[in-house]
């Protein structure tokens, strides 16, 4: 009897142990896959954002005074040998798919040049232009600045006034980590309707004021079909959901936002008579309601990580306003150049027609890009720019890259740039001994028929840094 009970006890323990073991293995596997970023596409549909990424080893960041300065991960000492770095990256820089116009620059975090090839020549940068836009914005605008969308009233007429919030949405954000979606028209309509109802008003006319920004709403430097082909939204100080509905961009973003707002007011018992009309709010109009955007620091983090063209162009205009210039393409690009010059960054060959990099006429040298990244580490206002950069294989525009370069996954942060025949990367990599290397690599005459191969070649350049024992 005792033996039978013993066997039953052992059997019972075994039955209980197996499910526990399975659960432990599943949790361990899930934790590993989550940390590697392999579950992102199932959980988040792609990039889960920096708040949900396990910080990759080698990208630990100092807290003070510059919270995004890359730290060495070992006790390695000694300067990086330019000859060793050159030997590591030159084979990838010479890949035929990159064409004949290839530039590379690398510096240490204190700004000491390490190795350069064609770095003083200016290249078409594509979206690495956003590195300059972001740096200039963070260095010029107080990081805590928010932009206000307002409703004002004169009698029975109300005006929806755009404040240049690039992430104004129709509805409140569903996810708590959608930090940039802090202002929405639904909330504004609720507040406006409550104020109007409290005053005994249930019927109004609606105007909309998008006069904060000036100049053309599409850059003359863009390809003629960028707007008509639904590639980019016309820049406006007033839009909702970046003027995109079911994948289609509105021809008139501010009018589209006003119509949406009128519908939201109607849902709350306020009748809007007639069609909303463009106007300029009277100086003595009384505020009725308002909503405030995310901070400029949060906006920049998102536009850099996901390479948001629309947000970059709005931020360019906010930068222009903050620097006392007209809120236009010209005013914004002048403000970028001024911010770079003020920081002691070379602007030789610099030519900008926008803040996003959509213009194929833009020109930036690799030297300008690496100097911008290096200068960003020197101030608490701008140091977050390096932390905003996508992580190789984990976040943003790098989430689907470096798949075949396991040694470089998680050890590189970089801003991408991609247009037909144009590819660039600018950021930093941690070498095999834990030394951070700031770099920029650019190609603007690559094989147009092999874009993925060109991207892979640039990934190999940064992977070569990550695997180099370059001291």
* The pLDDT of residue 41: 44
Shared-domain flag, residues 184 and 99: no
* The pLDDT of residue 324: 98
* The pLDDT of residue 22: 58
Shared-domain flag, residues 278 and 244: yes
Secondary structure class of 295 (helix, strand, coil):
coil
* The pLDDT of residue 34: 41
Shared-domain flag, residues 342 and 284: no
Shared-domain flag, residues 460 and 365: yes
Q: What is the pLDDT along the chain (471 residues), one digit of tens a residue?
A: 445 444 544 455 555 566 656 555 554 455 444 444 444 444 333 444 444 444 444 444 333 323 344 544 433 456 899 999 999 999 999 999 999 999 999 999 999 999 999 998 999 999 999 999 999 999 999 999 999 999 999 999 999 999 999 999 999 988 655 789 999 999 999 999 999 999 999 999 999 999 999 999 999 999 999 999 999 999 999 999 999 999 999 999 999 999 999 999 999 999 999 999 999 999 999 999 999 999 999 999 999 999 999 999 999 999 999 999 999 999 999 999 999 999 999 999 999 999 999 999 999 999 999 999 999 999 989 999 999 999 998 889 999 898 788 888 888 999 999 999 999 999 999 999 888 999 999 999 999 999 999 999 999 999 999 999 988
Cβ atoms of residues 262 and 243 within 8 Å: no
Shared-domain flag, residues 182 and 270: yes
Look at residues 177, 133, 165, 178 and name the one whose alpha carbon lies nearest to residue 333. 133
**What sign does the dihedral 303-295-378-336 (CA atoms) show?**
positive
Residue 37 token pair? 């970023």
Specify the DSSP class assigned to residue 50.
G
Long-range contacts of 326-333 (CB under 8 A, 24+ apart): 326/214, 326/215, 327/164, 327/212, 327/213, 327/214, 327/215, 327/237, 328/213, 328/214, 328/215, 328/216, 329/215, 329/216, 329/219, 329/220, 329/221, 329/353, 329/354, 329/355, 330/215, 331/214, 331/215, 332/133
* The pLDDT of residue 409: 85
Q: How many domains does the chain have?
A: 3
Cβ atoms of residues 167 and 299 within 8 Å: yes
C-beta atoms surrounding 359 within 10 Å: 25
Shared-domain flag, residues 376 and 462: yes
Residue 445: phi and psi, rounded to 5, are -140, 40
**What sign does the dihedral 425-341-437-378 (CA atoms) show?**
negative
* The pLDDT of residue 406: 83
C-beta atoms surrounding 161 within 10 Å: 24
Shared-domain flag, residues 171 and 311: no
Shared-domain flag, residues 344 and 461: yes
Residue 414: phi and psi, rounded to 5, are -160, 150
* The pLDDT of residue 18: 63
The domain boundary residue, chosen from 266, 294, 322: 294
Strand partners, 449: none
* The pLDDT of residue 235: 98
Q: What is the phi-psi region of residue 349: left when phi exceeds 0, alpha when psi lies from -120 to 50, beta otherwise?
A: left
Domain that holds residue 353: 56-142+300-466
* The pLDDT of residue 42: 42
> What is the H or E stretch that residue 152 is in?
strand 148-154
The domain boundary residue, chosen from 279, 294, 309: 294
Secondary structure class of 121 (helix, strand, coil):
coil
* The pLDDT of residue 19: 61
* The pLDDT of residue 178: 72
The owner of tokens 């104004």 is 168
Residues 6+ apart with CB under 8 A from 39: 30, 33
Specify the DSSP class assigned to residue 127.
G
Cα 206 off chain centre by = 34
Shared-domain flag, residues 331 and 361: yes
| DSSP count for the chain of H helices, then E strands | 13, 13
Shared-domain flag, residues 46 and 110: no
Look at residues 201, 212, 213 and name the one whose alpha carbon lies nearest to residue 153. 201
Shared-domain flag, residues 309 and 451: yes
The domain boundary residue, chosen from 294, 328, 357: 294
Look at residues 70, 57, 65 and name the one whose alpha carbon lies nearest to residue 373. 70
Cβ atoms of residues 104 and 425 within 8 Å: no
Shared-domain flag, residues 29 and 97: no
| Residue 471 falls inside a structural domain | no
């Amino acid at each position: 009897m005792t033996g039978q009970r013993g066997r039953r006890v052992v059997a019972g323990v075994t039955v209980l142990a197996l499910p526990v073991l399975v659960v432990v293995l599943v949790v361990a596997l899930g934790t590993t896959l989550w940390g590697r970023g392999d579950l992102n596409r199932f959980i988040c549909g792609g990039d889960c954002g920096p708040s949900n990424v396990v910080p990759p080893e080698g990208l630990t960041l100092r807290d003070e005074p510059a919270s995004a300065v890359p730290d060495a991960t070992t006790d390695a000492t000694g300067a990086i040998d330019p000859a060793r770095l050159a030997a590591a990256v030159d084979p990838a820089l010479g890949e035929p798919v990159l064409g004949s116009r290839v530039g590379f620059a690398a510096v240490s975090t204190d700004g000491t040049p390490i190795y350069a090839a064609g770095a003083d020549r200016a290249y078409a940068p594509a979206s690495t232009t956003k590195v300059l836009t972001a740096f200039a914005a963070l260095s010029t605008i107080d990081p805590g600045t928010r932009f206000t969308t307002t409703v004002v009233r004169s009698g029975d007429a109300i005006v929806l006034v755009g404040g240049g919030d690039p992430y104004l949405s129709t509805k409140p954000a569903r996810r708590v980590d959608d930090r940039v979606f802090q202002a929405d028209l639904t909330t504004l309509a609720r507040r406006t309707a409550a104020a109007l109802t409290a005053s005994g008003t249930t019927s109004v006319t609606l105007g909309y004021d998008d006069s904060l920004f000036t100049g053309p709403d599409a850059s003359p430097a863009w390809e003629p079909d960028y707007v008509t082909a639904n590639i980019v939204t016309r820049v406006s100080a007033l839009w909702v959901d970046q003027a995109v509905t079911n994948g289609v961009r509105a021809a008139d973003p501010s009018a589209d936002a006003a119509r949406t707002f009128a519908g939201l007011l109607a849902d709350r018992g306020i009748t809007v008579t007639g069609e909303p009309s463009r106007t300029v709010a009277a100086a003595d109009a009384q505020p009725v309601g308002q909503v405030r955007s995310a901070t400029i620091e949060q906006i920049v983090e998102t536009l850099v990580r996901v390479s948001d063209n629309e947000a970059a162009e709005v931020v360019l205009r906010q930068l222009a306003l903050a620097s006392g210039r007209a809120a236009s393409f010209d005013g914004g690009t002048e403000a970028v150049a001024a911010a770079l010059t003020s920081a002691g960054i070379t602007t030789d060959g610099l030519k900008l027609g926008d803040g996003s990099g959509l213009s194929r006429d833009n020109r930036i040298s690799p030297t300008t890009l690496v100097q911008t990244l290096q200068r960003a580490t020197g101030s608490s206002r701008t140091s977050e720019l390096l932390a905003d950069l996508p992580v190789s294989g984990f976040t943003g525009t790098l989430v689907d890259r470096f798949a075949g370069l396991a040694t470089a996954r998680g050890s590189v942060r970089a801003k991408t740039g991609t247009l037909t025949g144009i590819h660039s990367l600018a950021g930093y990599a941690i070498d095999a001994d834990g030394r951070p290397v700031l770099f920029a690599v650019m190609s603007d005459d690559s094989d147009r028929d092999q874009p993925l191969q060109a991207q892979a070649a640039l990934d190999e350049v940064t992977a070569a840094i990550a695997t180099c024992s370059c001291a």
